[in-house]
């Protein structure tokens, strides 16, 4: 037998008689039968040849060993095997075990790749280090209605769940419906829920609204000084602590793994709290007693009172004004405000976490070389000195200082940031956004309402519910004389053609400099691609797009083209899979901005230029791509790409179980529009040097196929009403015989002529 066959033989043998045999016979997603633990134990003992109570990789086989060795100590105990099968479900374990780990080779390794710092699910903790088994003092508490009570008042309950929550942390808001749903689910089994809000800046009106909307019935207590959190060992705003009837901590950590730092799932994979409560009710040992919680961190450590010249008023407020208040203010896109001393102190834990992880302000381009200025006009990153001052202030008492040292208040424009638009296009109907889980992209085609061609000097997308709008892409479509056809529904689906305007939280409105602009033809339609992210409260959105026009044709027409690899195929389990795409620049071009785009498995992204003289230059390096922030990277000085330059793009993907945002690590992932699919797509914003307004990057791919699709009457030529609006002028320049239409031969001749200049 070959070495390779020997290595897989234990898996084959085990699949026939052991745990896999039990798993395969089960129906997908069914709950374990009452005798499953016993059957697993029986087969476990049969495989445990040396009777040491542990299974090694050789005894268990590669596939199941990988899935069941959850603590990484190179052996699987019976408790581990039973816990994983019970928590993850039969079908999940089987599929994962039967899918081999695929080794991948990347063409280059992303620099400073720390994607795990951006996406983090609950990690299991050592119970003894997490307070498990400790008795909680008999605290005297007062709910928000003024009723006083003690923990011992619930001694007749099977268990008390101390559920931390608030109305400002995004992850807490997402978990709130799940907490109250579980409160109702276990009400008949004498499980008492106690809700604790540790955030002093949360407004009473918002709390009362949440209680009413969610249907909370248990006591709701404020913990502004952190007394309760310290007593029970809470560290985050989503911690749940389970106390038995003698006030012993039996579980502490996450409710489940549905939501985490920078990711969301449609349903949880591991329901830690539910399993803990069932174990308490059945008086069985807990298999998972402690995990990390995914919410906003609490600042409970006693700060050093060492003298410092840094105060909120003389330094910290100025940093926040410059870097944070754009979103973190009343009425801003962020979930909480940082515009007062009290608000900043209340969010100290979240601020520290964001600085240490490098995730706020959202900016993911690699930093410039030491001593060099940033290449980016919209660089939002904190300078090293700003980080040091913020962390020092947080660690040394958070002094307020003299109010007379405060900066002048920063003001923000009300309403449209570009000014009152000349024309507004709005989604025709409010779009419902559910409270929990995830939502697929929604496409809506809207008539522009324009009766004549217009030149645009400014555009702005304004969601009516910005708290749930992840991003918006708007594509320009030609006029149509029919309301609903396959062509309409598919229009704009080729992302390589480029978008017209985009929105994401933190994006500036788009205002072109003098001499630059875009054209929107009369009768055009706009396809809104909407991506919503539920935040715990059901709502609706009716996004608007405003235009400001100019009477003069701009000297430079701005294009956005996409460079993509739609043939990507990411293997199951691959944790650093590279995908490449290239595009030749067909005319001298000035690049203004880059927009990398991937989905939930996206890990890192890079743009490089290979110039005609053989020189290679790194244009943009994003070592930690984050799907939650669809950022643009706008150059401080436009970049010249001479004709013949090749743009080389590389995206890296993590399709492994270590990526908590991964919808399915057992699947080979292909190109697709939804977040459970993937894209490797780099947009480029640019203009062509000279008087040639035709696009220089990403010219029409698969020209013959697209020509045939556009030629609705199949007469072998494109008339004006068959041409896409944003290509009409360029296509008509190919009209060699002057008949106001173009054939495929005329287009190809024009392209060849232009490339041979």
- Residue 236, in any domain of the structure: yes
Do residues 152 and 230 touch, judged by C-beta distance below 8 A? no
Instruction: Give the CA-trace dihedral at 283, 284, 288, 292, to 10 degrees.
Output: 10
- Residue 54, in any domain of the structure: yes
Q: Please tell me whether residues 139 and 224 are part of one structural domain.
A: yes
Residue 654: closest CA among 634, 678, 632: 678
CATH number of the structural domain spanning residue 457: 2.60.120.230
Q: Give the residue ranges of the chain where pLDDT is below 50.
A: 1-34, 72, 99-117, 305-306, 481-492, 692-693, 699-702, 755-757
CATH number of the structural domain spanning residue 746: 1.10.238
- Residue 378, in any domain of the structure: yes
DSSP letter, residue 678: B
Count of alpha carbons within 13 Å of 184, Cβ hemisphere only? 8
What number of helices (H) and strands (E) belong to the chain? 19, 35
- Does residue 358 come out as left (phi exceeding 0), alpha (psi in the -120 to 50 range) or beta? left
- Residue 108, in any domain of the structure: no
Q: Please tell me whether residues 258 and 324 are part of one structural domain.
A: no
472, β-bridge pairs: 503, 530
Q: Please tell me whether residues 273 and 126 are part of one structural domain.
A: yes
Q: Please tell me whether residues 738 and 592 are part of one structural domain.
A: no
- Residue 543, in any domain of the structure: yes
Q: Please tell me whether residues 179 and 263 are part of one structural domain.
A: yes
Do residues 249 and 242 touch, judged by C-beta distance below 8 A? yes
Residue 653: closest CA among 148, 186, 119: 119
- The full DSSP string for 254-323 is -S-SSEEBTEE-SS-S--HHHHHHHHHHHT---S--BB---SPBP--SPPP----S--IIIIIHHHHHHH
Given this model, what pLDDT does residue 574 score?
93
Given this model, what pLDDT does residue 333 score?
76
Question: Using one digit for the tens of pLDDT, what is the confidence trace for 34-46?
Answer: 466 776 777 777 7
Element (H, E) at 76: strand 76-77
Of 405, 431, 447, the residue at which a domain comes to its end is 405
Given this model, what pLDDT does residue 13 score?
26
Element (H, E) at 648: strand 646-653
Supply the range of the domain harboring residue 725.
703-755
Per DSSP (E only), the strands in 80-230 are 140-142, 148-150, 159-164, 191-197, 220-222
Q: How far apart are CA 241 and CA 252, in angstroms?
A: 4
- Residue 696, in any domain of the structure: no
Q: Please tell me whether residues 147 and 213 are part of one structural domain.
A: yes
- Residue 695, in any domain of the structure: no
Q: Please tell me whether residues 130 and 273 are part of one structural domain.
A: yes
Q: How far apart are CA 270 and CA 258, in angstroms?
A: 8
Given this model, what pLDDT does residue 701 score?
42
Of 372, 405, 438, the residue at which a domain comes to its end is 405
Q: How far apart are CA 612 and CA 144, in angstroms?
A: 70
Given this model, what pLDDT does residue 350 score?
86
Q: Please tell me whether residues 10 and 88 are part of one structural domain.
A: yes
Task: Name all contacts of 705-710 with Cβ < 8 Å and 24+ positions apart.
Answer: 707/744, 707/747, 709/487
Given this model, what pLDDT does residue 198 score?
93
- Residue 306, in any domain of the structure: no
Q: Are strands 220-222 and 76-77 parallel, antiparallel or unpaired?
A: unpaired
CATH number of the structural domain spanning residue 275: 3.40.30.10
3-state secondary structure of 360: coil
Q: What is the CA radius of gyration of the chain?
A: 29
Q: Please tell me whether residues 457 and 478 are part of one structural domain.
A: yes
Q: Are strands 159-164 and 76-77 parallel, antiparallel or unpaired?
A: unpaired
Domain count, the chain: 6
Q: Please tell me whether residues 135 and 275 are part of one structural domain.
A: yes
Q: Please tell me whether residues 136 and 276 are part of one structural domain.
A: yes
DSSP letter, residue 644: T
DSSP letter, residue 656: S
Given this model, what pLDDT does residue 70 score?
55
Q: End-to-end alpha-carbon separation of the chain, Å?
A: 64
Of 282, 301, 323, the residue at which a domain comes to its end is 282
Query: Residue 450, preceding bond cis, omega within 30 degrees?
Result: no
Q: Please tell me whether residues 362 and 456 are part of one structural domain.
A: no
Q: How far apart are CA 653 and CA 656, in angstroms?
A: 9
């Amino acid at each position: 037998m070959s070495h390779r066959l020997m290595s897989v033989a234990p898996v084959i043998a085990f699949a026939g008689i052991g745990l896999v045999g039990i798993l395969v016979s089960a129906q997908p997603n069914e709950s374990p039968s009452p005798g499953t633990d016993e059957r697993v134990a029986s087969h476990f003992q049969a495989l445990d040849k040396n009777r040491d109570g542990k299974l090694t990789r050789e005894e268990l086989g590669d596939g199941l060993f990988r899935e069941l060795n959850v603590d990484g100590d190179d052996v699987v105990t019976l408790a581990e095997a039973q816990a994983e099968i019970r928590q993850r479900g039969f079908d999940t374990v089987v599929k994962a075990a039967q899918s081999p780990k695929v080794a991948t080779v990347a063409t280059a390794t992303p620099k400073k790749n720390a994607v795990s710092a951006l996406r983090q699910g609950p990690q299991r903790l050592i119970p003894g280090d997490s307070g498990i088994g400790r008795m909680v003092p008999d605290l005297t508490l007062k709910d928000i209605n003024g009723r006083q009570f003690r923990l011992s008042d619930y001694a007749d309950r099977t268990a008390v769940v101390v559920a931390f929550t608030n109305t400002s942390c995004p992850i807490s808001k997402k978990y709130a419906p799940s907490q109250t749903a579980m409160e109702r689910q276990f009400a008949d089994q004498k499980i008492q829920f106690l809700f604790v809000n540790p955030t002093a800046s949360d407004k009473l009106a918002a709390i009362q609204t949440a209680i009413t909307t969610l249907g909370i019935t248990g006591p709701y207590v404020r913990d502004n000084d952190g007394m309760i959190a310290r007593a029970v060992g809470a560290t985050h705003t989503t911690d749940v602590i389970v106390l038995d009837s003698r006030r012993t901590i039996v579980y502490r950590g996450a409710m489940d793994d549905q939501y985490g730092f920078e990711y969301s799932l449609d349903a949880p994979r591991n329901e830690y709290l539910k399993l803990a409560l069932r174990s308490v009710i059945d008086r069985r040992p807990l298999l998972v007693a402690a995990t990390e919680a995914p919410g906003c961190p609490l600042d409970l450590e006693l700060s050093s009172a060492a003298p410092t010249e840094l105060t909120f008023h003389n330094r910290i407020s100025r940093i926040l004004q410059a870097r944070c208040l754009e979103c973190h203010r009343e009425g801003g896109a962020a979930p909480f405000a940082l515009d007062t001393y009290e608000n900043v102190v209340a969010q100290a834990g979240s601020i520290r976490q964001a600085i240490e992880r490098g995730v706020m302000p959202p900016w993911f381009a690699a930093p410039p070389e030491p001593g060099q200025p940033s290449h980016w006009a919209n660089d939002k990153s904190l300078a090293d000195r700003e980080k040091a001052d913020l962390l020092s202030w947080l660690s040394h008492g958070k002094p307020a200082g003299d109010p007379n040292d405060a900066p002048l208040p920063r003001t923000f424009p009300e309403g449209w940031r570009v000014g009152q638009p000349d024309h507004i296009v709005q989604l025709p109907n409010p779009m419902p956004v559910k409270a929990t889980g995830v939502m697929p992209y929604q496409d809506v085609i809207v008539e522009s309402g324009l009766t004549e061609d217009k030149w645009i000097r400014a555009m702005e997308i304004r969601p009516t519910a910005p708290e749930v709008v992840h991003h918006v892409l708007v594509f320009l479509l030609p006029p149509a004389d029919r309301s609903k056809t396959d062509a309409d529904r598919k229009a704009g689906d080729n992302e390589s053609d480029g978008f017209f305007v985009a929105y994401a939280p933190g994006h500036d409105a788009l205002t072109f400099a003098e001499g630059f602009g875009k054209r929107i033809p009369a009768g055009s339609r706009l396809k809104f691609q909407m991506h919503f992210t539920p935040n715990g409260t059901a709502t609706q959105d009716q996004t608007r797009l405003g235009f400001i026009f100019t009477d003069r044709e701009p000297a430079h027409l701005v294009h956005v083209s996409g460079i993509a690899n739609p043939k990507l195929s990411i293997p199951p389990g691959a944790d650093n899979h590279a995908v490449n795409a290239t595009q030749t620049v067909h005319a001298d071009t000035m690049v203004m901005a880059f927009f990398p785009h991937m989905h939930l498995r996206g890990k890192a992204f890079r743009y490089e230029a290979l110039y005609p003289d053989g020189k290679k230059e790194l244009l943009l390096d994003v070592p930690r791509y984050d799907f939650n922030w669809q950022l643009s990277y706008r150059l401080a000085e436009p970049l010249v790409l001479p004709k013949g330059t090749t743009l080389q793009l590389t995206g890296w993907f993590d399709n492994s179980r270590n990526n908590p945002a991964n919808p399915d690590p057992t699947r080979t992932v292909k190109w697709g529009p939804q977040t459970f699919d993937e894209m490797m797509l780099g947009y480029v914003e640019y203009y062509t040097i000279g008087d040639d307004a035709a696009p220089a990057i990403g010219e029409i791919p698969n020209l013959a196929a697209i020509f045939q699709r556009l030629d609705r009457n199949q007469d072998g030529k494109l008339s004006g009403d068959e041409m896409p609006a944003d290509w009409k002028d360029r296509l008509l320049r190919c009209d060699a015989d002057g008949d106001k239409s173009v054939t495929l031969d005329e287009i190809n001749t024009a392209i060849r002529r232009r490339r041979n200049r």
